[in-house]
Amino acid sequence: MMGVTETIDRSEALRAYGRGDAGQSAISVQQVTKSFMNAEGDAIPVLSGITMDIRKQEFVSIVGPSGCGKSTIFNIIAGLIEPSSGKIVVGGEEIGRSTGHVGYMMQRDLLLPWRTILDNVTLGLEVKGLSKKERYDTAMAYLERYGLDSFAKAYPSTLSGGMRQRVALIRTLVTQPDIILLDEPFSALDYQTRLVLEDEILSILKNEGKTGVLITHDIEEAISVSDRVFVMSKRPTFVKKTYEVGLAASHGSAMKARTDAAFKQYFEEIWSELDIQMGRIS
């Protein structure tokens, strides 16, 4: 089976990296707070003023303690829920509810088992009102571009976990959002598959000129793929520290980023940043 990476010219992906609108703001999260009601009706503050500026064509990661509100930030950026205060500015405009500016691969974004791979990929296009032929042509073009066309007629259950995640990403890409939100897309995969997919997905997003935001538990993953890593505090949550990493960009690959001497250093810094929060040291 042909790997997806083989279909991507890395040097081309890297040229894309510094091209076009890079440097301009893609998403600006401004002093966003969010509280949820608990069963007793008390407002529990989850986000206590999140501010981050993500640049066009940048790939950033968000790491933070479990339950600190990472998925909640994505839900707010995607316009699925409203912040208690603060705002999200995308392309210079404050977003309203459920706008189509972002592609969102949710934490449990499963393929529909009764639909073929092709019909899963066309799903995102159905709401756009394209004709059946347009939907199929567009979906097939993406599947071909990333070496998945031979699976078009297959059902999800016949694919490995890694292949299913590739398809889920393609399903997100076909609607051509500028920004892709990825909520722990690799957490259910074995270690080797995760390494390969991290590398591929970064290449795909760079190749497509997208802005990517990844939520991950895995500090090594964050360091290997990111231009920057945002470390969140525990609840009520704010951005505790931002790391300018950029190892994948300088090596042209997330896999090679792991061989950089600075990799271990970033790991130790980010680990200790999180360690203190989780109370492991005290």
Instruction: Please report how close the Cβ of residue 107 comes to ligand ADP at its closest, in angstroms.
Output: 7
Q: How far apart are CA 26 and CA 210, in angstroms?
A: 10
Partner whose binding site includes residue 72, from ligand ADP, Mg ion, none (CB under 5 to 8 Å by kind): ligand ADP
Q: Given the complex with ligand ADP, which of 120 and 226 has the nearer CB atom? A: 226
Place of tokens 């790997």: 3
Comparing CA positions, the residue from 70, 73, 93, 90 lying closest to residue 81 is 73
Instruction: Please report how close the Cβ of residue 48 comes to Mg ion at its closest, in angstroms.
Output: 17
Instruction: Please report how close the Cβ of residue 145 comes to Mg ion at its closest, in angstroms.
Output: 30
Q: Given the complex with ligand ADP, which of 66 and 192 has the nearer CB atom? A: 66
Cis before 236? omega within 30: yes
Number of residues near ligand ADP (by CB under 6 A): 9
Q: How far apart are CA 147 and CA 132, in angstroms?
A: 22
**What are the residues binding Mg ion (CB under 5 A)?**
71
Q: How far apart are CA 50 and CA 45, in angstroms?
A: 12
Q: How far apart are CA 271 and CA 220, in angstroms?
A: 10
Q: Find the helix or strand (DSSP H, E) in which 180 lies.
A: strand 179-183
Q: How far apart are CA 217 and CA 211, in angstroms?
A: 20
Partner whose binding site includes residue 271, from Mg ion, ligand ADP, none (CB under 5 to 8 Å by kind): none
Q: Given the complex with Mg ion, which of 31 and 71 has the nearer CB atom? A: 71
Partner whose binding site includes residue 46, from Mg ion, ligand ADP, none (CB under 5 to 8 Å by kind): ligand ADP
Q: How far apart are CA 179 and CA 103, in angstroms?
A: 6
Q: Given the complex with Mg ion, which of 30 and 71 has the nearer CB atom? A: 71
Residue numbers 15-74 binding ligand ADP by CB under 6 A: 36, 46, 66-72
Partner whose binding site includes residue 103, from ligand ADP, Mg ion, none (CB under 5 to 8 Å by kind): none
Residues that bind ligand ADP (CB under 6 A): 36, 46, 66-72
